[in-house]
Amino acid sequence: MNSYKNTGQPGPQELIFLALGGVGEIGMNLYLYGHDGAWLMVDLGVCFGEDYIPGIDGVMPDPSFIRERSSTLAGLVVTHGHEDHLGAIQHLWPQLGCPVYATGFPASLLRRKLNENNLDSVVPLKEIKCGSSLSIGPFDIKLITLTHSIPEPNGLVIRTKAGTVVHTGDWKFDKDPVIGGASDVAELRKIGDEGVLAMMCDSTNALVKGVSGSEGSLKKHLQRLIGGCKNRVVVGCFASNVARFQTIAEVAEDCGRHVVLLGRSLHRINQVARENGLFEHLAAFIPAENSGYLPRDKVLFICTGSQGEPRAALARLARGDNREVDLDPGDSVIFSSKVIPGNEVAVARLQNQFIAKGVDVFTDGEWKIHVSGHPTREDLVTMYEYIRPQIAVPIHGEMRHLVGHSKLAKMCQVPHTVIAVNGTIVKLDPTGAHIIDHVETGRVGVDGTRLVSLDAVPMRERRRLQSSGIVFVSIVFDENRELALQPYVSSAGLIDEIVDEEILIDAEKRAGDVISSLSKKVMSNEGAIIEAVKREVRAVFRKAIGKKPIIKVHILSN
């Protein structure tokens, strides 16, 4: 039988769903649909920064599964322009080689990213219109206009011979969205009436009661807060939250303040927005180097880094290492964003740094200065009333969000639900969702100019270095395979070698003693010598400071 189980490729009567990223976590979205010998990819994004991986500039899903099947990858459709949905394309596309489809706004963002990697003339980027239909291999796709915090968020209706699925992407219902139009409810109802096999739906706020607030409702609250601030005002938000970007700029103008952008991604978003007919009513923003000429009560800075990212603009202001801008006691910093799960410690650390400088800090816990771009429970109920799928597949969320969403779908009388975390291959048919296989998933990171597996030995060593340091042992043998010099021990990131010199001396002695005690047979085996020295030196440091550092032994022979 021509089926995935027999061939490793989806059969002509099969519809398969597989997430390689984005299910069991927030961010790093990569979804695959398989049908009739072909695969369709939806989104390819990065995840939010993680401090436990030093030196890594970006983290994204490992595409090994689909890379091995790249000849059958019909295309990649981008639902919208947020980093966790398109930020990995410029890094991973060379492994895929497929056409990329996006509407105007995300396509503009993507072109800039591809240009940075010298791929702008290589990647077949096909710009499509909002609300349009297209065929990609055996998949017939209809774009549905939804509402989110960025222009042109698209839900996808994916039709195949084996059934129709709805992939919502990120969305919410908002009657006053600031950017773009409201969700196309009439089209959603129509799709539901036609019959939907499965819906893959955003789970971010599945545990939050009520309805998502309207972006348009924030303006009066921000105006009241900013209007009461004296001196300099800094507002931190997601760079790609274009609706919030516009609202903050409008409020600044209403309060008689000039807008300055701090953060490379904000400048990119500003350029793309103006290219796509947005921000035309806003005055030109002031360069950061000119902000010092403005009275302190006549300027407002919009900054990146609201999630505590250490290299972003907000963190640099908190540390005082921005050359053009400084903050003094009595200035104000406003966090107009939600803390993404996992970033709580980093954000709290950042806020404490500002408070220690005498800067006033305002958050959405005290003021209504943020609304989410994702559906809450009542929004989800409404969507299920429109679509009425036979199967609910929660995506875009941590496990607690997925489970909460699954329970809600059952309350909405959805006949079948399945939690398919990354790596779970699910066959969808009218009898339900059937888990037929699991594949290996992982993460890759941008390490300088290369991509590396975050599970590889160098990355594991780097994490150990961060916590335990490293010790180097140099051994020199003469022509008789005897010590020509006393072993030399040094360390990095572990001890003060002047203050703790006795530890090094003890380690050198123990290394010399263990070598002298080895038999001739062992001395002929360099690997055995290295392991013996490692054990002795590690024991010295464990006893002295309670650490088990990485030990590197170098042997030189005359």
What would the pLDDT profile of 487-546 be if each residue is shown by its tens digit?
A: 999 999 899 988 899 999 999 999 999 999 999 888 989 999 999 999 999 999 999 999
Bridge partner list, 42: 31, 77
Q: How far apart are CA 455 and CA 464, in angstroms?
A: 13
Handedness of CA 257, 260, 265, 269 (dihedral sign): positive
- The number of residues making up the chain comes to 558
pLDDT at 441 over 60: yes
Return the number of other C-beta atoms located less than 10 Å from residue 37's C-beta.
17
Of the residues 362, 394, 420, the one at which a domain ends = 362
Give how many domains the chain has, as a whole number. 3
Q: Which tokens is 218 given?
A: 């924030």
Find the largest Cα–Cα distance for the chain. 88
Based on the fold, state whether residues 402 and 292 are members of the same structural domain: no
Global pTM value:
0.89
Whether residue 376 contacts residue 209, with contact meaning beta carbons closer than 8 Å, is answered with yes
Average pLDDT over residues 186-197: 98
Residue range(s) defining the domain that contains residue 98: 11-210+372-453
Based on the fold, state whether residues 315 and 433 are members of the same structural domain: no
Q: Between 382 and 265, where is the model more confident?
A: 382
Based on the fold, state whether residues 222 and 349 are members of the same structural domain: yes
Whether residue 38 contacts residue 74, with contact meaning beta carbons closer than 8 Å, is answered with yes
Report the side by side order of strands in the sheet with 332-335: 258-262, 299-303, 233-236, 332-335, 360-362
Tell the residue number behind the tokens 């706020």, with chain if given.
205
Domain-embedded: residue 2: no
Identify which of 84, 147, 53, 51 has the alpha carbon closest to the alpha carbon of residue 396. Answer: 84
pLDDT of 328 = 95
Whether residue 268 contacts residue 116, with contact meaning beta carbons closer than 8 Å, is answered with no
What is the tens place of the pLDDT at every residue in 15-43? 999 999 999 998 899 999 999 999 999 99
Based on the fold, state whether residues 222 and 83 are members of the same structural domain: no
Q: Which tokens is 202 given?
A: 């955003």
CATH number at residue 478: 3.10.20.580
pLDDT of 255 = 97
What is the tens place of the pLDDT at every residue in 389-423? 999 999 999 999 999 999 999 999 999 999 999 99
Q: Which tokens is 327 given?
A: 């903050």
pLDDT at 461 over 90: no
